[in-house]
Structure 1
Amino acid sequence: MMRSLYSGVSGLRVHQTKMDVIGNNIANVNTVGFKASSVTFSDVFYQTIQSATGPNAATGAGGQNAKQIGLGANVASIVASITQTGGSQRTDNPYDIMIAGDSFFIVNSGGTNYFTKAGNFGTDEDGTLTIPSGAAVMGWQVDPKDNTKTVAGTVSPIKIVTPANLYSEPQATTNTYVSGNIDYKDTQIVAGASGKAANVEFFDSLGQKYTAKLKVNQNAVTNEYTVAVTDITDATGKSIFAKSNGATPPVYALNPAFTNFTFGGITYNPAINTTTGEVTLTGTGTADILQFDATSGKFKGIGTGPNPTGKGLNLVMNATPNPFKTVNIDFSSVTMYESGGTSKLEADMGSITPTGVSSLGSGRKAGHMTGFSIDTNGKIYGKYDNGDNRLLGQIAVASFSNPAGLEAKGGNLFAETQNSGSFDGVGHDVSSDGGSFITGVLEMSNVDLSAQFTDMITTQRGFQANSRIITTSDSMLEELINLKR
Structure 2
Amino acid sequence: MMRSLYSGVAGLKTHQTKMDVIGNNIANVNTVGFKSSSVNFADQFYQTMSNATGADAATGAAGTNAKQIGLGSTVASITTNITEQGGTQTTNRALDVAINGDSFLIVKSAGATYFTKSGALNVDANGTLYCTTNGATVQGWMAQTDAQGNQSIVKNTVQDLQVMSAANMYYAPTETSAVTITGNIDKADTDLVVNDPTIIDTKNGKKLTFSFYDELGQEYTVKMNLYRNGSGTTGTGTDAQATSVYSVTLADVTDADGNSIFVKKTVANGATSYSSTKVKINLGGVEYTIANETTDINQKTGEFTITGTGTVPTLSFIAETGDFSTVSDANIPNTSTDWGKSLVFQVTDAGTLDNTFTKYVPATDSGGVKVDFSSLTQYSSSGVSSTSYSKGSTKGLGTGNTAGEMSGISIDDKGMIYGTYNNGSKKLLAQIAVATFSNPSGLEAEGDSLFSATLNSGTFDGVGEDVSLSGSFAVGALEMSNVDLAAEFTSMITTQRGFQANSRIITTSDTMLEELVNLKR
**Equivalent residue for 2:136?**
135
Paired residues of 1:301 and 1:311 also in contact (CA < 8 A): yes
Match status 1:392 vs 2:429: yes
Residue 375 of structure 2: which of 333, 342, 356 is its match? 333
CA distance in 2, matches of 1:250, 1:72: 109
The answer on whether the counterparts of 2:35 and 2:482 sit within 8 Å (CA) in structure 1 is: yes
Task: For 1:483, give the aligned amino acid.
Answer: L
1:294 aligned to which of 314, 319, 324: 319
Counterpart residue type for residue 300 of structure 2? T
Please give the residue correspondences for 1:28-67 in structure 2 after superposition, counting only pairs within 5 Å. Answer: 28-67=28-67
Indicate if the aligned counterparts of 1:244 and 1:250 stay in contact, CA closer than 8 A: no
User: Displacement, 1:476?
Assistant: 0.8
What's 1:114 paired with? 114
Structure 1 equivalent of residue 124 of structure 2:
124
For residues 255 and 329 of structure 2, the distance between their equivalents in structure 1, rounded to whole angstroms, comes to 33
- 1:205 aligns with one of 205, 215, 227: 215
Matches within 5 A, 1:355-366: 358-366=395-403
Which range moves more in the overlay, 52-61 or 217-226? 217-226
Cα deviation digits, residues 115-145 of structure 1 (max 9, x gap): 0011111111111000123211000122343
Opposite residue 224 of structure 1, the aligned amino acid is V
Task: Tell me how far apart the structure 2 counterparts of residues 246 and 157 of structure 1 sit (CA, whole Å).
Answer: 55
Residue from 186, 196, 218 that aligns with 2:189:
186
Q: Contact 1:369 / 1:383 at 8 angstroms: preserved in 2?
A: yes
CA distance 1:329–1:94, shift in 2 (3 Å)? same
1:178 is displaced (CA, Å) by 1.2
Q: Could you tell me how far apart the structure 1 residues matched to 2:449 and 2:297 are?
A: 72
User: In the TM superposition, what whole-angstrom CA distance separates every residue of 1:171-198 from its partner, at most 9, and x where no partner exists?
Assistant: 1111112112221112221226942111
Following the alignment from structure 1 to structure 2, what is the Cα–Cα distance between the partners of residues 252 and 265?
Answer: 32
Determine if the alignment matches structure 1 residue 265 to structure 2 residue 285. yes
Q: Matches of 1:81 and 1:18 in 2, distance apart?
A: 15
SS in structure 1 opposite 2:279? Answer: strand
Residue 247 of structure 2 corresponds to 226
Return the match for 1:419 from 449, 456, 462: 456
Instruction: Report the alpha carbon displacement of residue 280 of structure 1 after superposing the two structures with TM.
Output: 2.2
1:129 and 1:158 in contact (8 A); partners too:
yes
Contact 1:206-1:365 at 8 Å conserved across structures: yes
SS of 1:218's partner is strand
| AA aligned opposite 1:340 | S
Equivalences for residues 368-447 of structure 1 within 5 A: 368-433=405-470, 435-447=471-483
Among candidates 505, 508, 514, match of residue 472 of structure 1:
508
Counterpart CA distance in 2 for 1:304 and 1:403 is 65
Mapped contact 1:50–1:67 kept (Cα < 8 A): yes
How many residues get paired?
Answer: 476
**Following TM superposition, by how much is the alpha carbon of 1:255 offset from its aligned partner in structure 2, in angstroms?**
5.4
Letter of the aligned partner of 1:241 in structure 2?
F
User: How has the CA–CA distance of structure 1 residues 403 and 148 changed in structure 2, closer, same or farther, with 3 Å as cutoff?
Assistant: same
Aligned residue in 2 for 1:355: none
* Conserved? CA contact 2:329–2:343, under 8 Å: no
Q: After TM superposition, give the deviation of residue 147 of structure 1 in Å.
A: 4.1
Query: How far apart are the structure 1 equivalents of 2:298 and 2:455?
Result: 85
Amino acid at match of 2:307: T
Superposed CA deviations along residues 261-291 of structure 1, whole A, max 9, x for unmatched, are: 1112221113432332223212122211112
SS of 1:279's equivalent in the other structure is: coil
Residue by residue over 1:37-72, the C-alpha shift from the partner in whole angstroms, topping out at 9 and shown as x without a partner, is: 000100011011111111122222211111111001
**TM-superposition CA deviations, 1:375-421 (whole Å, max 9, x none):** 22211111122232211111111111111111100000000111111
Distance 2:329 2:73 in 1: 101
Give unmatched runs, 5+ long, in structure 1. Answer: 353-357
Structure 1 moving runs of 4+ over 6 Å: none
Mapped contact 1:252–1:273 kept (Cα < 8 A) = no
User: In the aligned structure 2, how far is the partner of 1:251 from the partner of 1:166?
Assistant: 42
Q: Is the counterpart of residue 153 in structure 1 residue 177 in structure 2? A: no
Residue identity matched to 2:405: H
Aligned match of 1:177:
180
Q: What amino acid does structure 1 have at the position aligned with 2:483?
A: V
2:266 corresponds, among 223, 226, 245, to 245
* Aligned: 1:457 with 2:493: yes
Structure-1 separation of matches of 2:166 and 2:272 = 43
- What pairs up with 1:347-358 in 2 under 5 angstroms? 347-352=389-394, 358=395
Q: Which amino acid aligns with 1:456?
A: M
Once the two structures are TM-superposed, the CA of residue 36 in structure 1 deviates from its matched residue by 0.2
In 2, the alpha carbon distance for the partners of 1:205 and 1:185 equals 39
- The answer on whether the counterparts of 1:302 and 1:311 sit within 8 Å (CA) in structure 2 is yes
Do the aligned partners of 1:140 and 1:156 also contact (CA within 8 Å) in 2? yes
Whether contact under 8 Å (2:126, 2:165) holds in the other structure is: yes
Contact 1:239 1:279 in 2 (8 A): no
Q: Provide TM-score, normalisation by structure 2.
A: 0.88
Q: For residue 262 of structure 1, what is the amino acid of its counterpart?
A: N
Percent identity, aligned pairs only, is 54
Of 78-87 and 171-180, more deviation after overlay is shown by 171-180
Change (3 A) 1:81 1:181: same
Q: How many Å apart are 1:167 and its aligned residue?
A: 1.1
Moved more, 51-60 or 90-99: 51-60
Determine the C-alpha separation between the residues in 2 that align with 1:414 and 1:283: 73
Q: Deviations over 1:131-169 (max 9, x none)?
A: 123211000122343743211111100111111111111
TM-score normalized by structure 1?
Answer: 0.94
Worse-matched range after superposition: 280-289 or 167-176? 280-289
The code of the aligned residue for 2:191 comes to Q
Q: Distance in 2 between matches of 1:194 and 1:261?
A: 18
Letter in 2 for 1:282: T
Match for residue 384 of structure 2? 342
Instruction: Tell me how far apart the structure 2 counterparts of residues 302 and 60 of structure 1 sit (CA, whole Å).
Output: 115
Deviations 1:405-453 (A, max 9, x none): 11100000000111111001011111123x1111101000000000000
Question: What is the deviation of 1:294?
Answer: 1.8
Once the two structures are overlaid, the 10-residue window that deviates more, 333-342 or 446-455, is 333-342
Farther-moved stretch of structure 1 (139-148 vs 445-454): 139-148
C-alpha distance in 2, partners of 1:337/1:55? 110
SS at match of 2:79: strand
SS at match of 2:306: strand
Q: Are the equivalent residues in 1 in contact too, given 2:54–2:64 (CA < 8 A)?
A: yes
Deviations along 1:312-360, one digit per CA (max 9) or x if unpaired, are: 11111131542112111111121222211111121221112xxxxx221
